[in-house]
Each structure stands twice: as C-alpha cells, then as structure tokens.
Structure 1
Amino acid sequence: MKFKTTVLPNQNPTPALSIHSLLSNGCKINSSKPPILLCFSTKAIIKPSLSTTQPKNKTHIITSSSTYNQYSQEPLTTTGQDPKKIGNYSVKFQTLGGCKLGISRYPNFDYNAQGGSGTATGTKNAATDEIAVSFDLQTLYIPPLMSATTRFLGLPLPPFLKIEIVPQLFQGVINEQTGQVDLEFKSKFLFSVGNIYRAPPLFVATVLTSEESRGAMKAGTGERLDGVGKCRLVGVATVDPIDDVLMNSFLGLPTECLADLNANISISSTSS
C-alpha cells in the first residue's frame, strides 16, 4: 500500500489516507478512541507448518466452510485399500427348527424354519475384528408360517392361513472371536386366508442379535455362535397399525412382536 504524505508547517509528516483507499485495501477503522486502524487481507492465508523443513512430497490440504477454516498437514491419499479393512468373506445363513414367533399378548407360535437360507459377502475390520455383512435379498428365503411349519397352543395353524415373510434388508456385523451377531432386519409380513382375504403388509424392523432384546411386552435372549456356527438370534419390534380395521383389532395394533430364530452361520475367507 502506498501512502501520500503532506507536510504542514511546524508539524510532523502524517500519512493522508482517503476512506476509499482504506476500504479498497481491506481496512476498517475501530470506533474506539484513539482510532485504531485494522487491516486485513482478502487473500487466503495458508497456516505455516511448525517445522522449518518440509518433505518435498508432502501435500498440504486447505479446506474451508461457511463457519470455519480447517488446516490439515496429512498427505492426500487417492489410492489404496483402507488399512483397517482386511480380507473378503463369504457368509451363508440358514434357519433351523426350534424357532418361535410372537405378536401382541398372544402366546408364541412354535415355528419350524428349517430350509431358510441366504448368502452374503463381508469385509473384516482389523481394528474391531468384526465382519460387516450384507445379504443378497435375491438369495434370502425364510419359510412362511402355515399349517406345515407352525403350531399354536400345540395345534397346527388352520388350513389356508398363511403368513409370508418378505425380507427388505438384512445386514450387520459378525464377530468370529466373540461369537456376537447383530443383524439389522427389515421385512414385510403378508397375512392371507386362501383367496378370500389378504391384509395389507405389516412392516417389521428390528435387530436380530445373539445378545438380549427387550421391549415393553416381549423379550428374548439369544445365543452366540458356537464352534460349528450355530446361534440363536432374537429381536423385538414394534408393529404399527395398517389400513385394515380387522387386523388392527385382531392384533391390537400398535403392538410388539418377537422373532426367535435358531440359525447356523458359516463364514469362509475368499481372499486370494
């Protein structure tokens, strides 16, 4: 910035600054007394490193937002695998007999889910030793509740009554070392009585866990993976009302339901 000076008789030389020149150079005058001239640069300021020497291949990144400027001295990485994630895995899920399903205040159904299955791919996190898995819905099948698979109070379900389970999401984490399993499960339950009656879908979302799941009405305790891959997964979910007065009244919606699945999970490495 250049200043024009004017020398008055018997006075020291004083810079003569116009308001226009001050503002155009990014300066402002503090209203406090005596006046204080504050100047700022409109150009970006790069925070210097604390070190006097920098590696030639070091890349500095400056990021900014509307609320703050953040300076990073970490090198920019554009390629390479996350070092925390190691190996790829193939996971197979199978449902077995000895399962239970419960809804509202009714006693639980005895449910034979033998024959259900699904496959997933997974990646292990080295820091937590957990395998993150996501099941392919095209391969995931859970047997319906019907007279051949389900008993209520010791008796088979009435003929033509059928409850189909249509998975919408099945993913989560499995820890091979501790045996703990936590899988987010979302599904539609479709109630029908032959061709006479079909209710709107009931939507259920829960976490099937090898630990404990507890709600206000329902509760269950799972079992962790053993040496051969067997486990018990439980999950309590809230079931919201649907657009069907008959089902809402019969099931007392909104209410809770319990899934108690006896299952087998096998894990194999696919890394080369």
Structure 2
Amino acid sequence: MNAHDSNPIDAPPFTIEGEDRPSRWLVTCDHATNRVPPWVNGADLGIAAQDMARHIAWDVGAAGLASALARRLNAPMIRSDFSRLVIDPNRGEDDPTLLMRLYDGTVIPANRRADAAERERRLDRLYRPYHRELARLAAAHPARAICAVHSFTPQLKGRPPRPWLVGILYSHRDERLGPAMVRACRAQGWITGDNEPYSGHLEGDSIDTHALSHGRPNVLVEVRNDLIRDAEGQEQWAGRLAAVLESVLAESGA
C-alpha cells in the first residue's frame, strides 16, 4: 500500500501488509530499513556503507521477522521505509535523539548540518505519514493489541557481549502482557531480557503514542539480530513468538 504523501515524487515512507487480516494484533516495525530518500542529502548521510549496514541505521532482520510474524498471527503489519538515522519514528517529535548526530561511535555528517527546517521537512514527509497510518490501523480493530518488533546487536562497541536471545520491553504503565511474555519466553528456555537490553518506557515513542495513550494491550519484542539475519531464522522465530504471543494475550484477559 502506498502512502498518502503530499509529495507524489516521494517513495512511500511506509509499507502495509495484510490490512484486512482479522486478528486483534497489529504488528509494527519502526526500524525496518536503512533506506535514505534521494531528497535527503542525495541519499547519502555521509557515512560508510558498512556503517549503513549496521544496527545504527536499521534493525537488522526485523522487517522479515515482522512480516512472518504478522502472517502467523493473521494480523496486519506496518513498517517504516526510511532509516532511523534519517529520522527516528520510535521517538517523540520533541525527543533530542529524533535526529541522531552520533550513534555507537559513528558521526552522522548529514545530520550534524541539519537545521530546524530540515528536521521539519523529514518529519512532514516521512515521520508523520508513517504515524498517521499506524494510528489508522491501530484504530481499525475495537480490541486492538500491538506488538512492536525490533532487533538488537549482539555487542555494542567497547561493551560486553549481550547474553539475551530475546528482550521483552514494556512500560510500568501497562504490565498486562510484558511480564507474562518474559515468563513465557523463559519457560521456552530462551535467555530473555526483562526490559533489557533497553528500557520499555520512553515518553512519546510508538508504543506510548499508539498503545499506552489509548489503553491498548502491548508488548515490544527485541530479537538478537544474528538470529534473524536470514529468512530461515526469521520464519523460525516468527513461529516461536506467534505461539507465545497468542497464549499470553488469551490468558491475560486484556
């Protein structure tokens, strides 16, 4: 599905799959791609190709996992189609990390030079259309539950290796699904982070905006990206996670 973008020369800033699928679940993928639109500094943020392939530019494997998971859940899925380094759709508009200038040791030259007008242009052509569609899909089911799919790198520069296979993130404002998901994943024998490797509460992020603010049950699933780099790994983890998500939602009564 294409974006209803005000500028017809833009490539769609989002992709939707299975809009008519009947599940309560909506699967989202905020950091699905490392694409830089051509109107952003000539499609070049000024960093090396190997850095654009790293986790700093996108969540490696997350798009394929989100798509496979949505099919298994018979649920719609929406993903962004622009790099988090262009503008981060999982941040509030007033978040200082919305437009990153330094990430995991890499300086982003095109962002260091970006002024307020450039920030607004990226918001208007990428960020806001994505969130409008996410809001529309979230509201399309009266009992919507949201599963946000992300991935994390096995090790940040200069940091110890991360032991988790999966991280389950959730906010203290809504613990209907998160803690039960942690227990269910650990019961499968997976080394599972409880609000690790990141905190599950961030004011203005996608879950805050589209789930917490509307009372919708929600969970954010992080999978270590070396496990989902290819289609085989993505399908394997989609099957594992779908079963756990369905059982946890059913048992929660949410």
TM-score (norm 1): 0.23
Greater helix content: 2
Task: Point out which structure has higher relative CO (alpha carbons under 8 A, 6+ apart).
Answer: 2
Q: Max radius of gyration: which structure? A: 1
Greater strand content: 1
